[in-house]
Chains A and B, each alone.
Chain A
């Protein structure tokens, strides 16, 4: 059997663990005390363990809420549906929120966990921001050089170290109550939480290596969302009026807005 076929069938046995592996196992020989079935099962088990471990590190609150056994079952199903396609393990698990949402929709017994996709997305954003690119501070001297007739076309950019999220569930309270690193003595997974009257808005950001979370007023969140969507300064002014200037000043100072571009002139970093 050519090397290519061996590698491909081996990988298929690993990423689709329920499929028939007889063809691949016929290419193995008994070694020491290990039968061909045992040989393959060791690799399947190792890979499950490695992927479970990565997802457990990224999604500790989700694991606390679901319990280890259920969480690990979901990890296996996720791995089958979304096999890793990147050498960097830090990028594995990005679609867990989408996967959980789909899974809950298909399983009526999980309706009480309908907040979970938002919580999982929060945990992913936290993880991604920890590893995201460093950004330079806003360059005010470049801003001063923008011609007056170009100012309305100016587009601000959010820092790579900032991630915006909103939810109609009390995910911040649920998250705080189920983070093992903060509550390792008394986890509160059975606690009940009141639904918020309105959608909650928050930002996950990194400052001096530390990742933090900040709840935002609705208007400020909308300004930042509009900036993220690429709206020009003119469009922002029309939409937010007098609320815009203080919001821009504040988030430029914080470093959440860290660059801008306007037609050919750009200081995007």
Chain B
């Protein structure tokens, strides 16, 4: 059976949620575990028919849901894909999705799609271009979107500002909101040498509506934002510092590869709640 009897009405997005992946959908629908909200990869739920749309409808009947997308290509010089946007908007309205988040990057150009989050130079031209595109997207959707900082493995000579400065200017110009991925900040620290504490201090906290936590993987000479491990201790530390500035912002655990049982993700979410509580009560958190 696909859909269980509806047990509870979806409420607001608050507390620590989990990024729902296909391997857990059956368990979520069957057992309806106590998870405050779920984030779905919108691109994975845009199938024309069959099981995927049915599962999306069933999940949204039970849980508050947000959409995270990878196909908007906000930084691309190609025209915005309004067919894609139209599908997103329809699904969001149909299933009362709380909000949409996208990445500060481009994924396509000249009609070619990389299916990877490609970084852009942090230049005035990029800033103006991306702000304009976000404005168009928000006008089309009739609501603000959240833009997420990405993990990057590249630094452009054209960059005239650092990422945190770029983000602060972008949310101002585009009047959008922010999704801050703490693991991405740390990955960029290890790979590109950015200073994470300074980065956090530059963020416009009042614009942050969501925080992501994930794990990285050590590779040959760099770390990869692979979402295949528990959140690392230094990332918990950074999270602890960040969350003091915005104790009520919803948090999400992302785990996309080598996915463990749902119970393991719920443990990770619980840890995020505990750290938040301790951090915001002025109790220092000791890494176990």
Stretch of B26-34, B49-57, B232-240, B267-275 lying at the A interface: B49-57
Contact for A32 among B46, B51, B118, B193, CB less than 8 A: B193
B283 to chain A, nearest CB (A): 33
- Cβ–Cβ contact A29 & B112, under 8 A: no
- How far is the CB of A78 from the nearest CB of chain B, in Å? 14
Question: Given A11-B110, A42-B222, A50-B116, A87 and B192 touching (CB < 8 A)?
Answer: no
Task: Say yes or no for A206: interface residue by CB 8 A criterion.
Answer: yes
Question: What is the minimal beta-carbon distance from B136 to any residue of chain A, in angstroms?
Answer: 17
CB of A112 within 8 A of chain B?
A: no
Contact of B49 with A8 in the complex, beta carbons under 8 Å: no
Chain A hits for B112, CB < 8 A: 11, 15, 83-85
**Residues of the A chain whose Cβ atoms lie less than 8 Å from the Cβ of B120:** 3, 6-7
Shortest beta-carbon distance, B64 to chain A, in Å? Answer: 25
| In the complex, chain B residues whose CB is within 8 Å of the CB of A2 | 125
B259 to chain A: closest CB distance in Å? 14
Do B48 and A42 touch across chains, with their CB atoms under 8 A apart? no
* Bound form: Cα–Cα A217–B74 in Å: 51
Which residues of chain A are within 8 angstroms of B51 by Cβ–Cβ distance? Answer: 130, 209
Judged by a CB distance under 8 angstroms, whether A111 is at the interface is no
Question: What 1/0 mask marks residues of chain B from 114 to 142 whose CB sits below 8 Å from any chain A CB?
Answer: 11101011010110010000000000000
B90 cross-chain contacts in A, Cβ below 8 A: none
- Return chain A residues, CB-CB under 8 Å to B84: 87
Looking at the complex, which one of A15, A28, A160 makes contact with B154 (CB distance below 8 Å)? A28
Within 8 A of A (CB), among B72-130: 73, 75-77, 81, 84, 106-116, 118, 120-121, 123, 125-126, 129
Give the residues in chain B near A92, CB-CB below 8 Å: 115
The answer to whether residues A32 and B121 also contact, given A27-B157, A47-B115, A87-B108 and a CB cut-off of 8 A, is no
- Name, among B76, B114, B222, the residue most crowded by chain A CB atoms within 10 Å (CB to CB): B114
Q: Residue A47 contacts which of B73, B108, B116 (CB distance < 8 angstroms)?
A: B116
* A38 with B113, Cβ < 8 A, contacts A28-B155, A31-B193, A90-B47 known: no
Does B261 sit within 8 A of A, measured CB to CB?
no
Specify the chain A residue showing the minimal Cβ separation from B130: A3
- Size range of the interface on B? 35 or more
Q: Interface code A145-168, partner B: CB below 8 Å = 1, 0 otherwise? A: 000000000000000110000000
Q: Are A31 and B47 in contact (CB under 8 A)?
A: no
Tell me whether B191 is interfacial, beta carbon within 8 Å: yes
Please determine whether A50 and B126 come into contact, CB atoms closer than 8 angstroms.
no
| A28-B156, A34-B191, A160-B49 known; A43 vs B125 contact (CB < 8 Å) | no
B110, A8: Cβ atoms under 8 Å?
A: yes
- In the bound complex, CA of A130 to CA of B106 (Å): 29
Is B71 in the interface zone, CB < 8 Å from A?
A: yes
A39-54: contact bitstring with B at CB < 8 Å (1 yes, 0 no)? 1101100110011001
What total count of A-B pairs have CB within 8 Å?
143
**Pair A134/B113 contact, Cβ less than 8 Å:** no
Interface contact A28-B157, CB-CB below 8 Å: yes
**Closest Cβ of chain A: how far from B71's Cβ, in Å?**
4
Min CB–CB distance B22 → chain A (angstroms): 11
Q: B155 to A8, Cβ gap below 8 A?
A: no
> B158 near A: Cβ within 8 Å?
yes
A245 at the interface (CB under 8 A from B): no
Q: Tell me whether B43 and A87 are in contact (CB under 8 A).
A: yes
Known interface pairs A7-B76, A209-B51; A88-B46 also in contact (CB < 8 Å):
yes
Pick the contact of A88 from B2, B71, B76, B221 — CB < 8 Å?
A: B71
Q: Say whether B81 contacts A87, CB under 8 Å.
A: yes
- Tell me which residues across on chain A come within 8 A of B191, comparing CB atoms: 31-34
Instruction: Give the complex CA separation of A50 and B224 in angstroms.
Output: 14
- Measured between beta carbons, the chain A residues less than 8 angstroms from B108 are 11, 87
Q: Is the C-beta of A23 less than 8 angstroms from some C-beta in chain B?
A: no
Does A10 sit within 8 A of B, measured CB to CB? yes
A131-B116 in contact given A2-B125, A31-B154, A32-B190 (Cβ < 8 Å): no
Contact A87-B73, Cβ < 8 Å, known A6-B121, A27-B157, A39-B154: yes
Pair A3/B77 contact, Cβ less than 8 Å:
yes
Distance between Cα atoms of A209 and B109 in the complex (Å): 35
Query: Are B113 and A84 in contact, with the CB atoms below 8 A?
Result: yes
Interface centre among B46, B153, B193, by most chain A C-beta atoms within 10 angstroms, is B153
* Interface positions of B (Cβ within 8 A of A): 2, 43, 46-54, 71, 73, 75-77, 81, 84, 106-116, 118, 120-121, 123, 125-126, 129, 153-158, 190-193, 221-222, 224
Beyond A31-B193, A87-B107, A134-B53, 14 additional contacts (C-beta under 8 Å) are A27-B157, A27-B158, A29-B156, A31-B154, A34-B154, A40-B154, A42-B154, A46-B116, A83-B112, A87-B113, A88-B43, A131-B49, A133-B48, A135-B49
19 A–B contacts, CB within 8 A, in A order: A2-B125, A3-B121, A7-B75, A7-B120, A8-B77, A11-B108, A11-B109, A28-B154, A31-B154, A32-B190, A34-B154, A43-B116, A50-B116, A87-B43, A87-B84, A130-B47, A130-B51, A131-B48, A161-B50
